[in-house]
Structure 1
Amino acid sequence: MRRPVALIALTALAVTGCADNASEPTAGPATVPSSTVPTTGSVDPGTTPATTPAETPSATAQQTQPPTQAPTEAPTSAASCVDQKLQALTLRERAGQLIMTGIAAAGMTSAQRSVVRQQKSGGVFLVGDSGSLTSTRTATAAVTAAATVEGVRPLIAADQEGGKIQRLKGSGFDRIPAATIQGTWSSSKLTTQAKRWGRQLKDAGVNVDLAPVGDVVPSSLKSENAPIGQLDREYGNTPEDAGRGVQAFVQGMRAAGVATSVKHFPGLGRVRGNTDFSAGVTDDVTVRGDAGLRPFAEAIKAGTSMVMISTVTYTRIDPKNRAVFSPTVIQGMVRGDLGWHGVVITDDVGSAAEVQSVPAGERATRFVAAGGDIVINAEARLTATMVNALVAKAGEDKLFAAKLTSSVRRVLTLKQSNGLVSCG
């Protein structure tokens, strides 16, 4: 595998992130030169390197160091606020911060409310048909009341891509065109429109858009690509076109104060099956350093808040693990090659057919062990199982406990940067 050649094809993609420590600043747009892609990255404290020498790209780079910050005594600084909250949370509450529970977009059912309140889910995402913007605001206020713990409020997310994938579309929400249409607009127009859509989400109490799609679907595969191409979810058929759309969308949402999650790393554009409904979905083409990864790096450079990992198995990257359970994908590629030290989130591992053969608790523990942070779980009834598994694993494995703590710190840092953490 000639990774250096593939990496050269990814121009303008270098990004940096800060190492995870008690003074970790929020991850944001890249500020390093854009002519190269970093081939290694610093590893969060409490984790072990995810790659072996054989897995690591051949180009050598020095590990990045945390930026030096001036000493401060202000108890409400971002870093000290996050540390304060981290220490205040019990182990079980920390584990709860790592689960994003699916609830009805029209409002929690009594069973869902019980789960969110008892497990203190760190986030929820809205599924099913929604009502108006006003009724959605009422529903999200109830979520905040149920899930807030120690002054830490929940992430509230929706799939608001456009076209066939738009969760919130009642009165007060624009009908958003599909990404294939958005991709034909100028970058400035798309950013302006995304900002408008983001303001609607913000007004409804939604603080995360689980978008944009960074997957590149080759034109020759569009009709065969069930998860993206058949649903018109791609911004373009080349890495350059998709990257432009992704960057413009992220910038617009960010301007509206809404967090984003670029998805589905390392790409669903070359698969046939949809992991929501099919099992055994594989990508036998994508390689580490692939040019098709460009839109993900562009999203990071634009200031995305999270990177979402797919549940597909990439046989030329890690044939033994689905991407969400792969240290090579998460630690090696996302945190290493792309230099991303912010929040990494799963695609749904609650109801998706692809992961039904994996015990629910293991879906959470294996993801965190691989270097991930937030687990999307569409089945609220499985949240307690996942939280229990995280707590049990942390209690018996010190290395895992350190990884869990690092994950919670990243989540709290994201929340703090989005005004979801109250410190005295």
Structure 2
Amino acid sequence: MRRPVALLALTALAVAGCGGNDAPTAGPATVPSSTAPATEESSPPTDSATPLETATAKPSPTKQPTKAPSCVDQKLQALTLREQAAQLIMTGVDASGMSSAQRTVVRQQKPGSVFLVGRSGSLSHTRSATAAMTTAATVKGVRPLIAADQEGGQIQRLKGPGFDRIPAATVQGTWSSSELTAQAQDWGSQLKQAGVTVDLAPVADVVPSSLKSQNAPIGELDREYGSTPQIAGRGVRAFVQGMRQAGVATSVKHFPGLGRVRGNTDFAAGVVDNVTVRDDADLQPFADGIAAGTSMVMISTVTYTKIDPDNRAVFSPTVIQGMVRGDLGWRGVVITDDVGAAAEVAAVPAGDRATRFVAAGGDIVINAKAGLTATMVNALVAKAGEDKSFAAKLTGSVRRVLTLKQDHGLVSCG
């Protein structure tokens, strides 16, 4: 299927920029042969060995050293299946500090990531809260990712002393790229100081001007950078670059776009997009975010009838494997929009929300309801125990998550 030229060009850049950077493996070292000088105790050649046989005798093969496993490989081997499964869950906890029930869940389940919900206090208060979360969730030298929705405007979780008040994306989109990058770097530095390693932003959805007032999840909240792929993509690139410079991971969202729907999946079920197609021009900002160095791609819970009418995007191999990993060439972490508290998936058993996403090619499951964490982990473990193909996918997902954590200094080896 043909793809827009611009998308293909940026896809090529994304593949080049986001693939592995493994150093080339050095060839085997040349071991010089040495002949010990003859001594009086040395036995002279016997008549049974002819001069020709002596000259053509083969030296003993040199044993090559075994390559030491990487830090990620070490952790994969050290973690039990249950601990690996838990690395794929991002559990929601209060931004102001874990409640007693949340603390119990985090300590017992050791989720690989924590998602801050509600509102926080000051930066210093948030830093104390995230430190406690890190201690509770760390397992075998693997610390959790701590994430927040820090877009700006109406979607800014962390406020108070130490945190800038961030304007909405519609305002950010009017700035020059250099100004937005500089501002995003400042906002990212504040997050880093507060112990937050992931900003679940930026929004890469394109909201047509004619639909803005009818688009509940994005347009009505001024979350879009612009009404065209070009304007939106410019804002996405600048925001991602600024956060990267601050050392904070980002997640472009909500693939393949919420700009053409009416309902908000957090509060409504049966939300459908009947317009977006697989090679849609409005996918460009996601390619732009990948090219800029985003850390994750977030998948929406909407059903796209012209792409995969039988599955919500988060459960669709066509969307995740075909479009994100195939068309866009993305090899990094793929994350869900919330599937814990969202009304859109309330009818789907909690365990199935996790297993169906991983089976479709995804990695991290956002679960805003901490009480569902054990159910999701149990479902992943059970599915991996009975299905070798699924177990291989789970391992691949954990490897991607651990690699991302290693890039942000959250994995200790040695």
| TM-score normalized with structure 1 length | 0.86
Measure how far apart 1:10 and its partner are: 2.9
Name which of 75, 86, 89 aligns with 2:79.
Answer: 89
- 1:339 equivalenced with 2:329 (yes/no): yes
Give the counterpart letter for 1:407 in structure 2: S
1:123-142 matches, cutoff 5 A: 123-142=113-132
Distance across 1 between alignment mates of 2:284 and 2:14: 17
- 1:189 equivalenced with 2:179 (yes/no): yes
Measure how far apart 1:170 and its partner are: 1.3
Measure how far apart 1:380 and its partner are: 0.2
- 1:284 equivalenced with 2:274 (yes/no): yes
Distance across 2 between alignment mates of 1:16 and 1:102: 34
Distance across 1 between alignment mates of 2:383 and 2:249: 30
Measure how far apart 1:14 and its partner are: 1.6
Distance across 2 between alignment mates of 1:67 and 1:328: 29
Q: Which runs of 5+ in 2 are unaligned?
A: 28-64
What SS does the corresponding residue of 1:131 show, helix, strand or coil? coil
The answer for the alignment partner of 2:25 in structure 1 is 70
Distance across 2 between alignment mates of 1:254 and 1:12: 22
Which of structure 1's runs of 4+ aligned residues deviate more than 4 A? 65-68, 71-76
The answer for the alignment partner of 1:8 in structure 2 is 5
1:227-306 matches, cutoff 5 A: 227-306=217-296
Give the counterpart letter for 2:398 in structure 1: V
Give the counterpart letter for 2:390 in structure 1: F
- 1:379 equivalenced with 2:334 (yes/no): no
The answer for the alignment partner of 2:380 in structure 1 is 390
Identity of aligned residues (%): 78
Distance across 1 between alignment mates of 2:330 and 2:410: 22
Measure how far apart 1:30 and its partner are: 5.3
Name which of 353, 360, 368 aligns with 2:343.
Answer: 353
Measure how far apart 1:15 and its partner are: 3.8
What SS does the corresponding residue of 2:4 show, helix, strand or coil? helix
What SS does the corresponding residue of 1:422 show, helix, strand or coil? coil
- 1:147 equivalenced with 2:144 (yes/no): no
Distance across 1 between alignment mates of 2:320 and 2:13: 15
**In 2 relative to 1, CA 16–366 (structure 1 residues): closer, same or farther, beyond 3 Å?**
farther
Task: Show CA shifts across 1:276-333 (max 9, x none).
Answer: 0000000000000110000000000000000000000000000000000000000000
The answer as to whether partners of 2:192 and 2:246 remain within 8 angstroms in 1 is yes
What SS does the corresponding residue of 1:102 show, helix, strand or coil? strand
Distance across 2 between alignment mates of 1:306 and 1:168: 21
Distance across 2 between alignment mates of 1:67 and 1:97: 23
The answer for the alignment partner of 2:106 in structure 1 is 116
Distance across 1 between alignment mates of 2:23 and 2:405: 23
| TM-score normalized with structure 2 length | 0.88
The answer as to whether partners of 2:14 and 2:290 remain within 8 angstroms in 1 is no
**In 2 relative to 1, CA 147–177 (structure 1 residues): closer, same or farther, beyond 3 Å?**
same
Measure how far apart 1:114 and its partner are: 0.7
Measure how far apart 1:29 and its partner are: 3.1
The answer as to whether partners of 1:75 and 1:81 remain within 8 angstroms in 2 is no
The answer as to whether partners of 1:140 and 1:204 remain within 8 angstroms in 2 is yes
- 1:211 equivalenced with 2:166 (yes/no): no
Distance across 1 between alignment mates of 2:158 and 2:378: 32
The answer as to whether partners of 1:158 and 1:167 remain within 8 angstroms in 2 is yes
- 1:366 equivalenced with 2:363 (yes/no): no
The answer as to whether partners of 1:16 and 1:339 remain within 8 angstroms in 2 is no
Give the counterpart letter for 1:29 in structure 2: G
Q: Which runs of 5+ in 1 are unaligned?
A: 19-27, 32-64
Give the structure with higher Rg (CA).
2
> How many residues end up aligned between the 2 structures?
377
Quick one: higher RCO (CA 8 Å, sep 6+), 1 or 2?
1
Name which of 367, 383, 404 aligns with 2:394.
Answer: 404
